[in-house]
Structure 1
Amino acid sequence: MKFLSSLVFLGGVGTVLAGTQLFGMNLSGFEFGCAITGYCPQGSNVIPPVKSLGGADGAGQMQHFVKDDGMSIFRLPVSWQYLTGSTIGPLSTKALANYDLLMQACLDTGAYCMIDIHNFARWNGEIIGQGGPTNAQFVDLWTQLTTAYADNPFVIFELMNEPHDLDLTLWAATCQLVVNAIRTTETASHIIMLPGLNYTSAGTLVEGWGAAMAGITNPDKSTTNLLLDVHKYLDIDNSGDHTTCVTDNVADTFDPVADWLRTNKRQAMLTETGAGASTSCFTDFCAQNEAINANADVYLAYIAWAAGSVNSTYILDLAPSVKGKVYTDMQMTTECVIEPWKNSTAVAAPAWGLVLPAGTASTSSSTTSTTAKTTATKGATTTKGGSAGSASTSTSSFVSGATRTIVPATPINPKNSASGLEVAGMQVMCVLMAGFAVLTFML
C-alpha cells in the first residue's frame, strides 16, 4: 500500500513528465546564405528542404523522425529576405507559398512547427530598432506571419535567431512590441520564443540577458506561452564549427540555468544545439541532452542542428540517409538526440508551468513502423524502415564565432549559425495519471 500512496502523492503534485515534452530537429535550407550581419543573399544560395523545389525531402525526413524516432517538434529556419523578396515590406506570395509547403508537411506529421526568422536581429548589416529596420517594420513582418497561421497553436513563433552585439534594453522593447502585435492578431494562443543576446546563448542567460527578456509580458501582463529561447554548442568558441567538444554544458550552463528558471518560474526551449562526430562530442553532447531531459520541468524541448538540405560533409550534418523506403539515422542522432529522451526518468511538472496541448503529434510519435535495427557503435548507425518520399496526408488536429554563415550544399562545409497551454503533451505519463483516480478510490 506504500507504493500506491506514493503514486497518489505524486499525482497530487502535478503532471508527471517522462523527459522533455518535445524533442526534434532543425530542417535547414530556407536560411542558407545568411551571415551574422543579417546579409542573406538569395537565388542559388537558398536550397529549401522541399523536394519539389529542388532541395532535400524535408517532408520525408520529418515523417521518419516522427514515426520511427518519436520526435515531436521541428524548427524551420527562413530568412526575412526570402519571405519578402529582399525588400522590407509585404510577404512575397510565392515565397510564403514555398515556405508553407514545408510548414504544412511539418504539421501533417502532428508535430509542433517553429518559424525561425534567421537574421541575427539584423537586415543587411543594420540592427532592428537600433538604426536598421524600424520596430514598426519588424512588427509588420510578424503581424503578416501571425495572420497566415493565426488559428493554429501547433505553429510556434521564434521572433529571431541569435541576436548579438546590440542594446539589450532596446531589443527587449522591440520584442515586447512584437508580442503585443501577435497577441492582437492571433485567434489561437501560440507559443512565442524570446531570444536573448550573445547569439541567445544559454551560457549568458543567468548573469546577462535573462531578466530583461523574462520581463516581456502578454498584453494582460501574464507570461503564459512566453518561453525563453536558448542555444548552446560544446566546442571551443560555442559555434559548433569544430569537431572536438571541450565544454561541460551541464555543470557550467544547463544546471545553473535550470535553477534560475525555477526561481523565476519560467521555462525555456533549447532550439538549436549540436556537435561534431568525435569521441569527445559523443560523450559531452549525450550528457548535455540527458541533463536537459532530467530538468524537463523547466526545459520543454531540445531541437538538434541540423537535417534538411545540409551537405553530407557538414560537421553538424544530422540528415538521415535514405535508400528506397529505409531511413538510416546518423549515429549522433540515435545516441545523443533520441536515446536521452527515450531513457529519461520521470519529472514532476511545476504547477505554474506549461504542459503542452496533446495533438496528433502525441499519437504519431507513439506509432512506430516495422524496423530493421542495427546495434549502434562508434562509427555505425541505427537503421530503421520508414516511409520515404512526401509527407502523408494526415493533418494536425489544429488547423558564435566570427564566421557564422550558412552556405548552400557545396563541397565546402557550411558554417553553423549558432553560438552561444494547457493539458497533457506527448511525454506525459498518461497511463499513470489516468490511474490516479482509481488508486485514490482504492486507498
Structure 2
Amino acid sequence: MARYAGRFQGKAWLGRNLRSIALRGIALIGAASLATQPVSAATTCMRGINLAGAEFGKVGDAYGKGYTYPSAETIRYFASKGFTAVRLPFLWERLQPKLYASFDRAEAKRLAATVELVRKAGMVVILDPHNYARYKGDLIGTDNVPQSAFADFWRRLSVRFGTEADIAFGLMNEPHGIAAEDWVSAANSAIAAIRQAGSSSLILVPGTAWTGAHSWTAGDYGTTNAAAMSAIVDPKNNYVFEVHQYLDLDFSGKNDECSRAADAVKALSDVGTWLKQNNRRGLLGEFAVPRQPECQSALVDMVKVVESNPDAWLGWAYWAAGDWWPEDEILNIQPVRTVDKPQMATLLKAMSENASCGR
C-alpha cells in the first residue's frame, strides 16, 4: 500500500509501540484446497488482517529503527478476535539485497520467525513482497530487473516456505505502471518457478493498475486485467486473483472519508460476477474505512459482498494494523492500550452475523 508505507522513515517518527492483549488462536483449515473450486457458504473462508511494519522505512535502515515485524502480542490479539489469516508485507530488497543471490540471513530469519508466530496462533500466512512490481525502483521486466530475477526470487522463497498448507504466496503488492500483458508474463514466470521448486501452495495473483476492483475492467495501461488474466498459467491450478478496493473519493485510501462507498461496493460485486463467469475465485487483499460512523455500514457491506459469495471469494484482509502505526492513522485498527478501534467493532459485528463462514 503506497498510501502510507513511504511516509514512515523510522521508529522515532512513528511513536511508541502499542501493546495488546493475547488470547486464543483460531485455525483456518484447508484454505489452499479451496482455491479454484466453487464452494458452499458453509465452507471455511478467510478473514485476514494486514500486519504492516516490515515494509516500512528505506532499504538499508536498521531493524528496530526503520522497520519492524509484528509482535507476538499483536499476532495473538488478532487471532483472539477470530481473524484467520495474516497478510505479511515485507520488502524484496531487504530479503534479497542482490538479484539472483541468496537471501540475507538475518532478514530471512526474522521473516521465518514471524511466519512461525502466525502459524502457532492458528492463522494462515500470506507472504506479501510489498514492492509494486519493482526492485530498487526498477520495474520487473526491464533490463535491470528481468522477469527471470523475479522468478528466481520466488523459487528461493518457495523452497523455504512452499511445503506448508497454511502459507500462501502473494506474488506482488499492487503492480502499477506496467502493461497487463507484461505483468501476466512476469506472474507466469514466478508461478512456473514456484511449481518447478515442488510447491503446491496457494498463489495470489494481482492485476496491474494497483489491482483495484474499480479498475479491473478499465484499460489503464491498455488491455484490461479482466481480459489479460485469462492468460495466467498454473500447472497446479491452485491460484486466486487478489484485488484491493478503498472507498474514498479517488479509491486510494488516503482520504479521511468514504464518499465513494457505493461505487466501491458495486466494483467489488462486479469483480465477483467476473470471477464466477470465469470459474475463478478472488481475495480482497486490502480494503478499509476511516472511523466515522457513516463509514461503518459501508465496511459491513464490503464484508457481506465477499462472504455471501463463497463461490467467487476466498475471503478478505483488512488494511491495516501493526505495532508501529501512529494512533491517529485513519485506517489503523491496532488497539490502543487494549481498546478496540471502531472499525474492529464493525468487523466483529459483520463476522458474527455470518455464522456460515465456518470457523
What is the TM-score when the length of structure 1 is the normalising length? 0.67
- 1:194 counterpart (199, 205, 212): 205
The answer to whether residue 322 in structure 2 is matched with residue 310 in structure 1 is: no
C-alpha distance in structure 1 between counterparts of 2:118 and 2:318, whole Å: 16
In structure 1, stretches of 5+ residues that fail to align are 1-13, 35-39, 51-56, 347-426, 430-443
Alignment of 1:9-408 (within 5 A): 16-18=40-42, 21-33=45-57, 40=59, 42-43=61-62, 46-50=66-70, 57=71, 59-67=72-80, 69-85=81-97, 89-187=101-199, 189-207=200-218, 208-219=224-235, 224-247=237-260, 248-249=262-263, 251-308=265-322, 309-322=324-337, 327-335=338-346, 337-344=347-354, 346=356
Q: Is the 8 A contact 1:250 1:291 kept in 2?
A: no
Is 2:39–2:310's contact at 8 Å kept on the other side of the alignment?
Answer: no
Given that 1:121 and 1:128 are in contact with CA atoms closer than 8 Å, whether structure 2 keeps it comes out as yes
1:197 corresponds to which letter in structure 2? T
CA contact under 8 A between 2:61 and 2:67: conserved in structure 1?
Answer: no
Q: What is the identity, as a one-letter code, of the residue corresponding to 1:63?
A: R
Shift in Å at residue 210 of structure 1? 2.5
3-state SS, counterpart of residue 321 of structure 1: coil
Letter in 2 for 1:166: I
Residues 131, 87 of structure 1: alpha-carbon distance in 2 compared, 3 angstrom cutoff: closer
Cα deviation, 1:136-170, whole Å, max 9, x if unaligned, reads 11111111110111211211100100001112111
Question: How many positions carry a matched residue from both structures?
Answer: 314
Contact 1:20 1:301 in 2 (8 A): no
TM-align CA RMSD: 2.2
Provide the rounded CA distance (Å) in 1 between the counterparts of 2:176 and 2:39. Answer: 37
Alignment identity in percent? 26
Q: 1 CA distance for matches of 2:253 and 2:259?
A: 11
Equivalent pair of 2:135/2:145 in contact (CA under 8 Å): yes
Distance (Å, rounded) in 2 between the aligned partners of 1:243 and 1:275: 8
Q: 1:129 to 1:97 in 2, by over 3 A?
A: same
* 1:357-412 CA distance string (max 9 Å, x none): xxxxxxxxxxxxxxxxxxxxxxxxxxxxxxxxxxxxxxxxxxxxxxxxxxxxxxxx
- Matches of 1:202 and 1:41, distance apart in 2: 34
SS of match in other structure, 1:271 = strand
Q: 1:239 to 1:15 in 2, by over 3 A?
A: closer
State the TM-score, normalizing by the size of structure 2.
Answer: 0.81
Structure 1 position 345, deviation (Å): 6.5
Q: Is the 8 A contact 1:28 1:306 kept in 2?
A: yes
Letter in 2 for 1:213: M
Give the SS at the match of 1:17.
coil
Give the gaps of 5 or more residues in structure 2: 1-37, 219-223
Taking structure 1 as reference, are residues 88 and 241 closer, same or farther at Cα in structure 2, changes over 3 Å only? farther
Give the letter for the 1:256 counterpart.
Answer: D
In structure 1, the partner of 2:32 is none
Aligned partners of 1:167, 1:292: CA distance in 2, in Å? 28
